[in-house]
Amino acid sequence: MNRNLTDSELSQVCEVIAARIGLHFPVERWAILGRNLALAARESGFQNMNRFIQWLLSSELNKDQMKILASHLTVSETYFLREPQVFTALTDFVLPELIKSKKKRDRSIRIWSAGCSTGEEPYSLAIALHKTIPEIKDWNISIQATDINSKALDKAATGIYGPWSFRNTPDWLKTRYFYDLGDRRFEIIPEIKNMLTFSCLSLTEDDTFSAIGKNKIDIIFCRNVLMYFTSDWVNKISQNLFQSLSEDGWFVVSSSELSSHVFPMYTPVNFPGAVLYRKTKKEYIQPFDFSLIEIQEPLKQPFQLLSFVPCIDEDLQQLSSKAIAEAGLQLSSSVASAKEDHQFQVKTPEDSYADKIFAIRLLANQGYLSEALSLCNKAIASEKLAPGFYFLRASILQEMDKSSEAITSLKQGIYIDPDYVMGHFILGNLFIRQGNAKNAKRYFKNALDLLNGCADDDILPESDGLSSKYIREIIVANMQTQQIK
Dihedrals φ, ψ of 9, to 5°? -65, -45
Question: pLDDT over 70 for what percent of the chain?
Answer: 78
pLDDT tens digits along 450-459: 888 888 777 7
SS3 165: helix
Question: How far apart are the C-alpha atoms of 364 and 360, rounded to whole Å?
Answer: 6
pLDDT band at 311 (very low <50, low <70, confident <90, very high): very low
Q: Give me the domains of the chain, ranges plus CATH numbers.
A: 1-73+312-349 (no CATH), 84-278 (3.40.50.150), 351-481 (1.25.40.10)
Q: For strands 185-188 and 178-182, give the pairing.
A: antiparallel
Q: Are 79 and 165 in contact (CB under 8 A)?
A: yes
Greater confidence, 257 or 380?
Answer: 380
Q: Which of 218-232, 329-343, 347-361, 453-467 has the lowest mean pLDDT?
A: 329-343
User: CA–CA separation, 409 vs 394, rounded Å?
Assistant: 6
Helix (H) or strand (E) holding 278: strand 274-278
Q: How many helices (H) and strands (E) does the chain have?
A: 22, 10
- Give the count of beta carbons closer than 10 Å to the beta carbon of residue 402: 15
Q: Which residues of 4-32 are buried (b: 16+ CB within 10 A; e: fewer)?
A: ebeeebbeebbebbbeebbbbbeeebbbb
Helix (H) or strand (E) holding 59: none
CA neighbor of 188 nearest in space, from 221, 145, 223, 220: 145
The whole-model pTM stands at 0.64
Q: CB neighbours (10 Å) of residue 107?
A: 14
pLDDT in tens, 382-434: 888 888 888 888 888 877 778 888 889 888 888 888 888 888 888 887 887 77
